[in-house]
């Protein structure tokens, strides 16, 4: 393994091995206890390194999570775009944004990472990602009447996950070839209804 | 391997081996050329057996397809229930029916088969199943205005596939615990809009 950091010779070898050990520990820990409860300290301890080294290599806990999932972007960078969108435009904006990312050059590693995440043997990491990163961000914005936010956000996730599966994994036509605009206009209202529609939810 | 047919001793051994060879040939052929174009004759030929033996072991081509996909039921048995449902009730009926099957004792092997189909390394078999079995059945019923049926059916498939992924594979809460009735009432209208709604589809 090579040290990709370009550090001077003289430092101990095996930086990439240390990084991999940290990422392995992070994946295990995030899957076991979730994003919020997994501390940098516990991940560092499991990897046998100092917590400061984890921060030095990977930055914030969000950035460490993205690296552990092999996401080429920090999901927070995407989710932050949705914070200022009026809630009544959230459905169409989310569909247009994620489809545009999937279809971009950046989409190749994103699709590979999501594929591994959604279709891997351990669904715990995927649940952690969806519940504690993606849905946690959306849920409080759509919690009206109070208490409905979790179901609203999860229903939207079910449509988005299926759009991803049919378009990017199965390449199912005609959905695989529909332009992002057309998907935003047809699938966006589905998310919007889940977010703000009058749903017959049970207590 | 044991002969599970209870045939008398004296017949040549290896029936289950022959069956497996037929199923392997069927999977390969269905994935390569699709359901309609894959003939029983070509599958028999690839397996090195007589076409009559394929029919003897597996029945119709639909039944052979179900066996090749390890589906515990002939998908035609489910799809036939949708033939007589009024088109304006199709969305809710489909969601209620498939969720009830997924959650039933029969659902365990169904979920395992779908999981292997949707998440396997070769998406061709999954595309064949969705396009030539499931969507082919629904598409002509929702082709209004003419030419929109393929997109309408595929959009519905995207929502159903995502519901399956989040509920049965990822076990994402609260969607994993929502009763079939509640899902029929909340997700059913999504399918219904895709089937018969005024969608802004592009040519």
Per-residue model confidence as pLDDT tens digits over B25-48: 999 999 899 888 999 999 999 999
**Are both B140 and B162 inside the same structural domain?**
yes
- CATH code of the domain in which B38 resides: 1.10.10.60
**Are both A80 and A59 inside the same structural domain?**
no
Q: For chain B, what is the mean pLDDT? A: 89
| Cβ separation B175–A131 shorter than 8 A | no
In a domain, A149, yes or no: yes
Predicted pLDDT of residue B103:
95
| Option in A159, A160, A174 nearest B154 (CB) | A174
Alpha carbon distance A57, B201 (integer Å): 47
**Are both A170 and A86 inside the same structural domain?**
yes
Domain end point (choices A50, A68, A86)? A68
Q: Establish if B28 touches chain A: CB-CB under 8 angstroms.
A: no
Angle at A70 between CA A67 and CA A76, to 5 degrees: 60
Instruction: Give contacts of A 102-141 with B, CB under 8 A.
Output: 118-119, 123, 126-127, 130-131
**Are both B143 and B172 inside the same structural domain?**
yes
Question: Do A53 and A40 touch, CB atoms closer than 8 A?
Answer: no
Token pair in block for residue A190: 């589905």
What is the distance in angstroms between the Cα of B37 and the nearest Cα belonging to chain A? 18
What is the rounded average pLDDT of the residues B55-63? 94
Q: Establish if A167 touches chain B: CB-CB under 8 angstroms.
A: yes
Q: Establish if A169 touches chain B: CB-CB under 8 angstroms.
A: yes
Chain B residue closest in CA terms to A162: B162
**Are both A103 and A127 inside the same structural domain?**
yes
Whether B97 has a pLDDT exceeding 50, the answer reads yes
Domain end point (choices B68, B85, B109)? B68
Judging contacts by C-beta atoms under 8 Å, the chain B residues touching residue A139 are none
Chain A residue closest in CA terms to B193: A190
Q: Establish if B96 touches chain A: CB-CB under 8 angstroms.
A: no
Whether B4 has a pLDDT exceeding 60, the answer reads no
| Cβ separation A166–B157 shorter than 8 A | yes
Predicted pLDDT of residue A2:
38
Q: Establish if B33 touches chain A: CB-CB under 8 angstroms.
A: no
Predicted pLDDT of residue A43:
97
Predicted pLDDT of residue B136:
86
- Mutation target for B interface from A162, A177, A187: give the one with most B CBs within 10 A: A162
In a domain, B201, yes or no: no
Confidence of residue B2 (pLDDT cuts 50, 70, 90): very low
| Option in B126, B160, B172 nearest A154 (CB) | B172
- Say if residue A94 is exposed, middle or buried (CB neighbours under 10 Å; 0-12, 13-18, 19+): buried
Q: Establish if A199 touches chain B: CB-CB under 8 angstroms.
A: yes
In a domain, B168, yes or no: yes
In a domain, B155, yes or no: yes
Domain end point (choices B23, B51, B68)? B68
**Are both B101 and B168 inside the same structural domain?**
yes
Predicted pLDDT of residue A14:
64
Counting the structural domains of chain B, the total is 2
**Are both A182 and A96 inside the same structural domain?**
yes
What is the rounded average pLDDT of the residues B64-69? 90
Judging contacts by C-beta atoms under 8 Å, the chain A residues touching residue B198 are none
Closest C-alpha to A156, from A78, A109, A86, A93:
A93
| Option in A159, A165, A173 nearest B118 (CB) | A165
**Are both A64 and A81 inside the same structural domain?**
no
Q: Encode chain A (203 residues) as per-residue pLDDT tens digits.
A: 334 444 444 444 468 889 999 999 999 999 889 888 999 999 999 999 999 999 999 999 999 998 998 888 888 888 888 999 999 999 999 999 999 999 999 888 888 888 888 777 778 888 888 888 888 889 999 999 999 999 999 999 999 999 999 999 999 999 999 999 999 999 999 999 999 999 999 98
**Are both B128 and B30 inside the same structural domain?**
no
Write down the ipTM of this complex. Answer: 0.86
In a domain, B151, yes or no: yes
**Are both B138 and B94 inside the same structural domain?**
yes
Judging contacts by C-beta atoms under 8 Å, the chain B residues touching residue A151 are 174-175, 178, 186
DSSP-derived secondary structure for B138-170: HGGGG--STT-HHHHHHHHHHHHHHHHIIIIIS
| Cβ separation A186–B201 shorter than 8 A | yes
DSSP-derived secondary structure for A182-193: HHHHHHHHHHHH
Question: Do A175 and B154 touch, CB atoms closer than 8 A?
Answer: yes
Question: Do B159 and A168 touch, CB atoms closer than 8 A?
Answer: no
In a 13 Å sphere around the CA of A121, the CA atoms on its Cβ side amount to 1
In a domain, B125, yes or no: yes
Write out the residue range of the structural domain in which residue A52 sits. 15-68
Cis ω before B174 (30° cut-off from 0): yes
**Are both A180 and A108 inside the same structural domain?**
yes
Predicted pLDDT of residue B14:
64
Per-residue model confidence as pLDDT tens digits over B162-198: 999 999 999 999 999 999 999 999 999 999 999 999 9
Q: Establish if A155 touches chain B: CB-CB under 8 angstroms.
A: yes
Q: Establish if A151 touches chain B: CB-CB under 8 angstroms.
A: yes
In a domain, A1, yes or no: no
What is the distance in angstroms between the Cα of B182 and the nearest Cα belonging to chain A? 6
| Option in A126, A154, A169 nearest B175 (CB) | A154
| Cβ separation A131–B173 shorter than 8 A | yes
Q: Establish if B70 touches chain A: CB-CB under 8 angstroms.
A: no
Chain B residue closest in CA terms to A130: B172
Predicted pLDDT of residue A10:
42
- CATH code of the domain in which A161 resides: 1.10.357.10
pTM of this structure:
0.86
Predicted pLDDT of residue A134:
86
In a domain, B126, yes or no: yes
Predicted pLDDT of residue A56:
96
**Are both A32 and A88 inside the same structural domain?**
no
């Amino acid at each position: 393994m090579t040290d990709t950091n370009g550090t001077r010779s003289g430092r101990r070898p095996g930086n990439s091995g240390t990084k991999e050990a940290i990422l392995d520990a992070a994946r295990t820990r995030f899957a076991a206890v979730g994003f919020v409860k997994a501390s940098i300290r516990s991940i560092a301890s499991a990897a046998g390194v100092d917590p400061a080294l984890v921060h030095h290599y990977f930055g914030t806990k969000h950035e460490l999570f993205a690296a552990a999932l092999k996401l080429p972007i920090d999901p927070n960078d995407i989710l932050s775009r949705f914070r200022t969108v009026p809630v009544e435009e959230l459905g169409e904006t989310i569909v247009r944004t994620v489809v545009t990312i999937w279809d971009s050059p950046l989409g190749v590693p994103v699709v590979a990472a999501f594929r591994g995440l959604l279709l891997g043997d351990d669904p715990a990491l995927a649940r952690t990602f969806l519940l504690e990163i993606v849905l946690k961000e959306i849920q409080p914005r759509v919690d009206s009447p109070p208490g409905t936010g979790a179901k609203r956000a999860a229903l939207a996730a079910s449509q988005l996950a299926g759009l991803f599966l049919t378009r990017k994994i199965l390449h199912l036509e005609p959905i695989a070839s529909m332009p992002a605009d057309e998907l935003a206009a047809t699938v966006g209202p589905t998310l919007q209804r889940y977010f703000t529609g009058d749903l017959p939810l049970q207590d």
